[in-house]
A and B are shown apart, each in its own frame.
Chain A
Amino acid sequence: GAGVSQSPRYKVAKRGQDVALRCDPISGHVSLFWYQQALGQGPEFLTYFQNEAQLDKSGLPSDRFFAERPEGSVSTLKIQRTQQEDSAVYLCASSSRPSPGQVSYEQYFGPGTRLTVT
């Protein structure tokens, strides 16, 4: 089946503009994650959804960042009044509910959206 998809793949925004990044998880996956990856760094956690509930948003760097998943499938990460330091690759990942007796489960990543703020 199809993997995790993200759009757009590339986004150039002028400083101060608002942007919206979309993630389509693997069908049936209940968990969805957003990560931010700066150049030369590993991804850093932003936020986590289980179905439509946002259970952890501790990684969002400021109140300019907002994420939603209203129907428990597609998710949107919105960044308001973009700043140069927001330039990064934004990765989305999804995972399924673990099987009985399974402790944890893998996250499957999309190709990312490269955001450049000029």
Chain B
Amino acid sequence: KQEVTQIPAALSVPEGENLVLNCSFTDSAIYNLQWFRQDPGKGLTSLLLIQSSQREQTSGRLNASLDKSSGRSTLYIAASQPGDSATYLCAVRPRLTGGGNKLTFGTGTQLKVEL
């Protein structure tokens, strides 16, 4: 059974700092890995999707990397801002016959960026 772990569970940083969020997964047979942002009381917003054949994806101040063989992904946030405060979730889609497209999520990292 696929298990996804995110470290740290919570993080508080001053504005402007660069930071790294970590995600690890136990089964490397994945189709893709997706990073989401969740604001309190709201649904999930997709940030980046990395296909299993890719090593990284970038969007603005965000960069996500994927090392499938070691079961790890990192989300790098440059020059953090208070508006980045949210919970960040990573999720993997399995590469299993009949496994459908269901995602397995980590428990998230709660980020607070302080002024």
* Interface 1/0 per residue, B1-27 and A, CB below 8 Å: 000100000000000000000000000
A-B pair number, CB within 8 angstroms: 67
Given contacts A103-B51, A104-B31, contact A45 B42 (CB under 8 A): no
Write 21 A-B pairs (CB below 8 A) sorted by A numbering.
Answer: A4-B43, A42-B91, A43-B44, A45-B104, A48-B102, A91-B43, A103-B32, A104-B31, A104-B51, A104-B93, A106-B34, A106-B49, A107-B34, A107-B46, A107-B101, A107-B103, A109-B36, A109-B45, A110-B43, A111-B41, A111-B43
Among the listed B32, B41, B100, which residue makes an inter-chain contact with A48, where contact means beta carbons less than 8 Å apart?
B100
Contact present for B101 and A104 (CB under 8 Å): yes
Is A18 positioned at the interface, with any CB of B under 8 Å from its CB? no
Chain B minimum-CB-distance residue to A40: B107
* B100:A55 contact, CB within 8 angstroms: yes
Report the Cα distance A59→B36, complex, angstroms.
Answer: 21
Q: State whether A104 and B43 are in contact (beta carbons under 8 Å apart), knowing that A33-B101, A41-B107 are contacts in the complex.
A: no
Other-chain residue from A33, A42, A95, A106 in contact with B4 (beta carbon distance below 8 A): A42
Known: A35-B103, A95-B101, A111-B42. 13 other contacts (CB 8 A): A40-B107, A42-B89, A45-B103, A91-B43, A103-B31, A103-B32, A103-B51, A104-B32, A106-B46, A107-B34, A109-B36, A109-B44, A112-B42
Q: A98-118 vs B: 1/0 string, CB under 8 Å?
A: 000001111111111010000
| Distance in Å: Cβ of B72 to nearest Cβ of chain A | 17
**CB closest chain-A residue, reference B6:** A42
A112 to B45, CA, bound (A): 12
A108 touches B46 (CB 8 A): yes
Cα of A16 to Cα of B30 in the assembled complex, Å: 40
A109 CA / B49 CA spacing, docked (Å)? 14
